[in-house]
Structure 1
Amino acid sequence: MARPKLGETDTERMQLKITRAEIEAIDDWRFANRVPSRSEAVRRLVQIGIQSDESLQQIRAQADGTYEFISGRFEQALTDIKKGPDKDGWLAIINILLLMNLDTMQMIGNLGSTARQASDQLEAMKGDAKVPELIANSKNVSREYEVTRSRIQDIMGRMETKK
């Protein structure tokens, strides 16, 4: 009897030496997620690891960008404050700080959305289906987040043009 096809490409056998503790961890994860076999659990864990690596790189880049943006704006505001502005200057600085706060909230919201997307994609990999279907489910989660982000950006753009 032929083995079931596990993906779009041919499967290959891989001999692997791992510790008893690693096998126990795989088995614990497998039972907790109701995965039928060790090999299926290893395939899922590999995919989760690959997705996690990509997601963490994206989250880190976004967090670094957020920090750079916020710290740059804050340093500029401090420079303006140190100049000892007049009354109109103080109003301008307060305006800048309020806008900076709004920008910061939006950037942190975007970062949170990216983290939730990563988490939801990983959760999609824990379903009852086989790995190729789980990967497709995870990609659907990603597409749904992109559609939502696009809608939010469209709304924000329309709000900006109304000002």
Structure 2
Amino acid sequence: MPAANRTYRLQIMLNAEELAILDAWRFENRLPSRSDAVRELLRLGQSVPGNDGHQGVRSVDFGILDPPNRTS
């Protein structure tokens, strides 16, 4: 576990639509930065009841938009 007082950089890539959704949520919740919005969303996601870690789910199946139609 990283030291609590140390800050780490995490770079993520979002498409224009995902960024617009993040910014809208950030402004709606009066958060001062995108980084604060992402941290708050991570905190909220960890506190969801029944969060079982999504065993066996592929990373491509996750997103903030509707999942793509896949036939595999």
1:51 corresponds to which residue? 47
Q: Deviations over 1:3-58 (max 9, x none)?
A: xxxxx331100111111111111101101010010110011011111111xx1x17
Equivalent residues, number = 49
Among 14, 26, 30, which residue is 1:30 paired with?
Answer: 26
Q: Percent identity?
A: 40
TM-score by length of 1: 0.28
Structure with greater helix share of residues: 1
Q: Distance in 2 between matches of 1:22 and 1:9?
A: 30
Question: Which 5+ residue runs of structure 2 have no aligned equivalent?
Answer: 52-72
Among 37, 42, 66, which residue is 1:41 paired with?
Answer: 37
TM-score by length of 2: 0.60
Q: Which has the higher contact order (CA 8 A, sep 6+)?
A: 1
Question: Which 5+ residue runs of structure 1 have no aligned equivalent?
Answer: 1-7, 59-163
Alignment RMSD, CA only?
1.9
Structure 1 or 2, whichever has the larger Rg, is 1
Query: In structure 2, what residue type is equivalent to 1:13?
Result: R
